[in-house]
Chains A and B, each alone.
Chain A
Amino acid sequence: MALLAPPDHADDYFDLTQLAAIKGEPIHAYKQLLQEADEKLNQSFYQCTTFPAWYAPVPGLLNN
């Protein structure tokens, strides 16, 4: 196994050019980048939490 490939739409959350742009800056700049990415990820998470089919049927009745 090797380095991770960027998942689809990964650049919506994290911009590699921004990472290149802060090269050499204090660690706080990297932390801010991670926090911003986390905020975007969390917003997306809250958008994908509800869907009606989530209420699982009785196990085994799935095929009914």
Chain B
Amino acid sequence: MHNISRLVRTRAWIVEQLILELWQRHQLPDYQVTLVAVGGFGRGDLQPHSDVDLLILYHQNLPEAAVSSLIQDMWDLGLDVGHAVRTVEESVQLAANDLSVATNLMESRFMQGEHQLYNDMYDRTNDRHMWSGPDFFKAKFQEQANRHEKCGGTAYNLEPNIKEGQGGLRDIQMITWVAQRHYHVSSMHGLVDVGFLHPDEYIHLQKGMRKLWKIRYALHLLAGRKEDRLLFEHQKELAKIFGFVDDEESLGVEKFMQSHYRNAMQLEQLNMRLLQLFEEDILQSHEDKQATELTDEFLIINQYLDISHPHVFKERPAALLDVFHHYQQNPQIHGIRANTLRHISQNLYLIDDEFRSDAELKAKFLGIFKHRNLVFKQLKLMNALGVLGAYLPVFGRIVGRMQYDLFHMYTVDQHTLFVLRNIRKIFLSDKTHAHAHAVAQGIEAPYVLNLAGFFHDIAKGRGGDHAELGAVEAKTFAQSFNLPTADGELLSWLVKYHLLMSVVAQKQDISDAQVIEQFAAVVKDQQHLDHLYVLTIADISGTDPKLWNSYKDSLLHELYHRTTQQLAAEEKDLVATSKAEALGLLDAKHHEDVIDLWQHFPDRFFDYSAPEQIARISQAIAENQHQPTVCITDLHEDGFEIMLYGHDQTGLFHHVVGVFAEFQIDVANARIYSNNNGFVLDYFHCLGSCDEALLKDLKRAVEQVLLMKEYQSKNRELVVTRREKLFLEVPELSFSAGRSAAETRFEIKCTDYAGMLVNITRILLNLEIDIHAAKIGTFGHRAEDVFWLSHQNQALDQQIQERVNAAIMDLLPAN
């Protein structure tokens, strides 16, 4: 007996009874003033805490005191009233200039007062007087695009907006509004009667809407207010309410969100298909239809692909893949007509085992990955239409799959598609990833890379190691789709090791020859390295746009470069080579001075640094006559590199990190080179503002530290944000062998907090521990920092490790 539609309609009816009673109570006259319900209340559905939108129309003399008192009573009743008080003329003027007002009035409902006032307003704002069907459609279409953009441009972000976002309630209302304005039907079902909506589509829209209503109802109850974003703090509770429980493979919350994403995806697809249908009917109806026959089964009508008759797919199911093949092969085709999209949807059941085992179709499917253009576009469309999930059920499993963390910004299927788009971008342009673009030009068969992008996360959400499981899936695919053996092996290898390059670059010391040797041993040859390099960059950039930065770019580039040398078995003296190249970049007048300076530097400095960097640093020190020096050595779009050279003093690193924290600058990487002349060179790759004035102030502050004017570091409280609080993790601290016998590698994994680095370095300073290098990694809400440490010129013994452990565990809130 209980269903969500009835509940929200009952609530609207109850609120209406109360408002009518209040109207009577305030003795508002039944002439000259009219009470009108608008918005959701006008439609007759009201969720808990939703706004009760009202319009009070009047002739000339507004009984102001009575109206104010009425509104006050409604507030006292606990209703969130949104009201406007206007004359008919004002309403008409506003509606003519403001689409949202015109839309609101379309859904208005007379409640009480003078009926003629309402009729005047309603008639004068209809499509005969303003916002004709085509104008309304065009404006609404644009409005929808802006709305989606505002909500992040995808329905598949971590905290989707179920009202305004893609596949949300507004998208369904949009269809009703256009139907009402142009086709003059009073409800969505009216579109079925006029033949625009198929009965199945109507059912799907209704079901989808009811699911969204349920979530919204629960969300409003949980939040205790109107809240349309599926915020992290409510997702777990919502999953519980709707009966989703954790199991070995995934969390209840992930299953709940997957269910939501799939619903949103279906609604988004229906919305797009119907809007296209409207566009063809409303905007293109007067244009001459130019139809060209492409094959017996397909036509091109005004640059859009269409089937030549309604039984094309039933007569030959293989045509379901041919659609995408034709679209990709013919650049003159701009899209697929709504009629065909609908028929694809209705005939997906034809994709059965026989269809999937057809060798010719397998070759066609593979062809999509091999084509030079539109790989991402075709696969995105195939996914939206459900063709991809139906044809490759293994992909169907990751559709709408989310991971409950702050690291993965998108669902697995959307991330996969973004990775494919990034691969394409890397091949086409050198704008964002110049070096990867150059490497990609040497890749002979990009389709293997496309397939690796497609399969790399295919086994997510199954429990176990998704890379290992994915490699098995990729191998099975390669055999089934008859890939050449070498391509199949490369594909499977790429899926298996798709995280390796990222992990080595970000968590290991890549200046360590042993690290490079081990990595090169897995990579085996240049072909594997080139593929893995491009895939890694596409993957990181496709996880979260904010995850990619100049530091990661330089790390991966460096690892690529070193591994290439290792693979070529170039037994060069790297130190001598770097020195020679750096010298070549310097003005001859500095040569003698710089060679003298270099005698005091450890080999590690030359081994790790690029010649350009060595030259810039050396020149700065030489020009300052070997005195303490601070220099910004490089500027990037998202940060900068800074070095400081001065007397080695206790706590220098900690104090400098404190200065960065004061300036709200994040340290991504730090290297410390102690020289044999009592000096130290610290180098930092920082992320943050590159504002000239700020950098000047920062440089001055670091100089103060260097000049022994000790920076008074404040005890900084760790700042925990709303999101971070939900993802507090038990910190993991580990100690392992360092780069030499006198060093210990210390790794800390925990929730990321602002101010953490300065606190950790203070602890190390208090324990008289020297920091030789540091890598500061942030992965969504997680910090993964690595330090190379020593204590009294020795590796950290058990006792000191325990003290570090205790002090840091004490610091972190998750403990």
Contact = CB atoms under 8 A, between A and B. Distances in A.
Interface residues of B, number: 62
A61 B348 contact: yes
Interface in A18-64: 19, 23-24, 27-28, 30-31, 33-35, 37-38, 41-42, 44-51, 54-64
Contacts of A4: 9, 12-13, 16, 44, 109
Contacts of A56: 211, 259, 262-263, 266
Given A42-B221, A59-B386, A60-B390, A9 B15 contact: no
B211 A60 contact: no
B269 A38 contact: no
Contacts, number: 147
Nearest to A33: B18
B2 A44 contact: yes
A3 B136 CA distance: 27
Contacts of A6: 10, 13
Nearest to A55: B259
Most buried by B among A5, A16, A27, A44: A27
Contact of B241 (A49, A58, A60): A49
A48 to B, nearest CB: 4
B651 interface: no
B425 interface: no
Contacts of A27: 73, 76-77
Interface in B663-700: none
Contacts of B756: none
B370 interface: no
B21 A14 contact: no
Contacts of B9: 4, 7
B557 interface: no
Contact of B399 (A10, A16, A24, A59): A59
B221 A35 contact: no
Given A10-B10, A46-B241, A56-B266, A16 B110 contact: no
B243 A49 contact: yes
Nearest to A43: B2
B11 A41 contact: yes
Interface in B249-268: 255, 259, 262-263, 265-266
Contacts of A19: 17-18, 21
Given A42-B48, A46-B241, A60-B389, A54 B4 contact: no
A55 B387 contact: no
Contacts of B390: 58, 60-61, 64
B346 interface: yes
B214 interface: yes
Contacts of A59: 262, 265-266, 269, 384-386, 389, 399
B755 interface: no
Nearest to A51: B243
Nearest to A2: B110
Nearest to A42: B221
Contact of B386 (A9, A28, A60): A60
A27 B204 CA distance: 43
A18 B531 CA distance: 74
Contacts of A63: 200, 346, 348-349
A49 B269 CA distance: 25
Contact of A64 (B3, B7, B16, B349): B349
A33 B78 CA distance: 11
Contacts of B522: none
Interface string B199-223: 0100010000001001001100100
Nearest to B413: A58
A48 B243 contact: no
A62 B263 CA distance: 11
A51 to B, nearest CB: 8
A45 B4 contact: yes
A7 B10 contact: yes
A46 B42 CA distance: 26
Contacts of A45: 2, 4, 7, 214, 217-218, 221
A25 B1 CA distance: 33
A34 B15 contact: yes
Interface string B14-27: 11111011100100
Nearest to B4: A48
Contacts of A64: 348-349, 390
A16 B25 CA distance: 16
B16 A3 contact: yes
A9 to B, nearest CB: 6
Given A1-B108, A45-B217, A54-B259, A34 B14 contact: yes
A10 B14 contact: yes
10 pairs of A and B residues whose beta carbons are closest in the complex: A60-B386, A50-B243, A58-B389, A1-B109, A59-B266, A48-B2, A56-B262, A44-B2, A58-B396, A63-B349
6 contacts: A3-B111, A27-B76, A31-B76, A47-B2, A55-B255, A56-B263
